[in-house]
Structure 1
Amino acid sequence: MSRIFRSDEVQPGDRVVLRRIAPEMEDKFSDIIGHIVSVTPTETVIRPQDIGGMPSFKNGIVVPAADIKIVKKLSPRTIRNSDIRKLEVAYSKAFPGIEHRQVGQWLLRAGDGITERSNSAAPLGPSALFDPVPVAEIHEFYSRHGLPPLVLIPERIGRVVEKLVERLGPEIIVMARKLGDEVSVEKHAEFRIDTQPDDDWLRLYHFRGKPLPRRALELLRTQIDGEMGFGRLLIDGRTVAITRGTITDGYLGYSAVEVAPEYRRQGLGTQLGNHMLNWGLAHEAHTAYLQVIASNTAGINLYTKLGFLEHHRHRYGLLKNPETS
């Protein structure tokens, strides 16, 4: 099991795998996959899951603390490795960087040097989990661009590189939801979406709370292999909320969400999100996704209200230099 994801404490309602000493077989272990009912210093109660990772109505199993080997949090629903890969491939097409190169099962990208998504190597090939990591090629590529050798580590499909990195970035939750019928929208402000952002849109955007250099902002508007739209809400003609939408491989990517400080906590984030879901549906997207840092509780709550659920997690890490490690 990976040690770099979901290291936070287990809470009631979490879906987990619990490894315990097998009843009446002290030298063997057995696993229970299900949802936590309660946790105390002396015991954990877990309810076995239903098909697909759904919560069930089965009786809870009481496991004494002394019998527990490990408890590991899982994604809320059963997700296949191929589904993680498809979503990460769509995401890579939404932020291709300036130069990208395929090396075996890895996609190497270089862009503005600011954001990790356009300046990292990603294990997106179907056999990346089994093939050797092209360490030398990754170091050479980023050295040539004057950038650190950063790698994207999606959980499970990036496991091969976990022990080869240092200085891990924060856990990032990739949330997703299916698109079906059009979403009803409470209209507190005027919605508009353009193929390119103007200065008002660019002025409002920040990356993790900080303004981006002009070059990095320009990369946001670079054409991609798919559809791209820059959404906004206006009140009395003023841009008060923004987001960037991309559609690649049938996935609506929803990013760069920002609401002007004086207009926050008025439901504008929800309104803008619902407008973007409808925009994606109109452009034949079947699934929407977004990303949020695991510690951003407010953001997670907002996106949950929009129907998003955790799909998987990923992190970025600095690839070690094999000559010095």
Structure 2
Amino acid sequence: MPLDAASIGQRIVVRYVVGGTGPSGGPAMSDAIGRVRAVDETSVTLERRDGRTQVVAFSDFVTWKAVPDRPLRRRRAVDVSADELTRITSLGWPAIESVHLGDWELRTSRRFTGRANSVAVHGDPGLPLDEALGRVREFYASRDVPALAQVVVGSTAERGIRAVGWVPMVGYHGGAVVQVADLEPAYAADPTARIAPTADDDWLVNYGRVNDPAAARAVLEGPATVGFVSIGSPAVAIGRVVVTGEWAGIACVEVAPDHRRQGLARRIVETSLAWAVEHGADKAYLQTMRTNHAALALYEPYGFVDHHDYLYLEPGTTASAQ
């Protein structure tokens, strides 16, 4: 059976030639496994379990087959490294502009949220640290936005960047805790909840961090598999769920002040997790403030535990200007 538009969403493994000679003397081959996200006349795009995509040309195909939707073995959420999880969370909250500096990702989105307007520091920038940070400062200066670095608390990167004069960003949104959970096979989705592929005005007005609706929508609607959950008409409770590979991201859970303490946030979360499992996720992450005790209590019954904290660093007065 050929791969076509009907295959989108299916999980497959493809064996394909990569060029050169293999160990047996024949053509060298490799395997790619993932969920089909796009098919055209010449190639298929697969989304791998970490959310990154791979394009394989049909001309390189040797064979392919469908594989079980949920692997028999899976990594536990807590076993994924902080660097890898930072890459995954960035895919779920994609910046309008994203430029790679080695493994680092320089992100800017017209100032909509720190996550989409900072350099995600993970792996190796491919340059000496001073030079890499100089490139970061140049990138953000050319776009007239502050230079920020999102770093994992306690990491070698944090220590190195602090050592050359960068300092923690001051203010409530200076960082967050990332929590993770392994998902169960089924959750009780709320039958009254609506899940849309885009953030309409009714949803967006309930998300209180929007100064530029166009920029917000570009980031929030960026991933291929994203759902905007709402309850009520007009909406009195909202949430956002995104699936990239085997991971779901839960965010933007908000309840109108005069409708709180009625279980609406729990219904949004439960519906979001049900949707995530339906779309192939078996792990989930969320990002919230250490001081947001209500949010931490909301997620705890679903098995969410601390993975790591991150904070934003900005150039201090003694930072190198290189």
CA offsets 1:30-50 (integer angstroms, 9 cap, x no match)? xxxxxxxxxxxxxxxxxxxxx
Residues 209-258 of structure 1: per-residue CA shift (max 9 Å, x gap): xx53323333344432x411111112xx3311111111123211111111
1:300 aligns with 2:274: no
Question: Which whole-Å CA distance do the structure 2 matches of 1:182 and 1:131 have between them?
Answer: 47
Instruction: Report how far residue 171 of structure 1 moved.
Output: 3.9
Q: Distance in 2 between matches of 1:319 and 1:145?
A: 16
Alpha-carbon distance in structure 2 between the residues aligned to 1:250 and 1:88: 14
Task: Say whether the 8 Å CA contact 1:168–1:316 is kept in structure 2.
Answer: yes
Q: TM-score, normalised by structure 2?
A: 0.67
- Counterpart contact for 2:96–2:219, Cα < 8 Å: no
**TM-score (normalizing by structure 1):** 0.67
Q: Does 1:262 align with 2:253?
A: no
| Alpha-carbon distance change, 293 to 130 in structure 1, aligned in 2, over 3 angstroms | farther
* SS of 2:129 mapped into structure 1: coil
Superposed counterparts of 1:82-101, under 5 Å: 83-101=81-99
Q: In 1, are the aligned partners of 2:193 and 2:231 still within 8 Å (CA)? A: yes
Query: How big is the shift at 1:178?
Result: 0.6
Over the matched positions of the two proteins, sequence identity in percent amounts to: 28
Which residue of structure 1 lines up, in the alignment, with residue 144 of structure 2?
146
Residue 202 of structure 1 and its aligned partner are, at CA, apart by 1.0
1:260: how far off?
1.1
C-alpha spacing 1:157/1:303, structure 2 compared with 1 (3 Å)? farther
Q: Is the 8 A contact 2:167 2:313 kept in 1?
A: yes
Partner Cα separation in structure 1 for residue 297 and residue 314 of structure 2:
30
Q: Deviations over 1:191-216 (max 9, x none)?
A: 11011121111111113xxx533233
Count of residue correspondences: 239
Offset at 1:132? 2.5
Aligned match of 2:180: 176
1:91 counterpart SS class: helix
Q: Name the counterpart of 1:162.
A: 162
Q: For residues 117 and 105 of structure 1, what CA distance do their matches in structure 2 show?
A: 16
Contact 1:87 1:251 in 2 (8 A): no
CA RMSD of aligned residues (A): 2.6
How far residue 292 of structure 1 moved from its aligned partner, in angstroms, is 0.8
How far is the alpha carbon of 1:157 from its aligned partner?
Answer: 5.7
Please tell me whether the aligned partners of residues 94 and 219 of structure 2 are also in contact (alpha carbons under 8 angstroms).
no
Counterpart of 2:282, as a letter, is H
Q: For residue 86 of structure 1, report the CA deviation from its aligned partner.
A: 2.0
Structure 2 unaligned residues grouped into runs of 5+: 1-75
The question of whether the paired residues in 1 share the 8 Å contact of 2:77 and 2:180 is answered with no
Asked if residue 200 in structure 1 is aligned to residue 202 in structure 2, the reply is yes
- Is contact 1:152–1:314 with CA below 8 Å preserved after alignment? yes
1:122–1:221: structure 2 CA closer, same or farther, 3 Å change rule?
closer
In 2: Cα distance, 1:218 partner to 1:119 partner = 15
SS of 1:316's partner is strand
Q: How does 1:130-141 map to 2 (within 5 A)?
A: 132=129, 134-141=132-139
SS at match of 2:211: coil
* Equivalent-residue separation in structure 2 for 1:249 and 1:147 (angstroms): 31
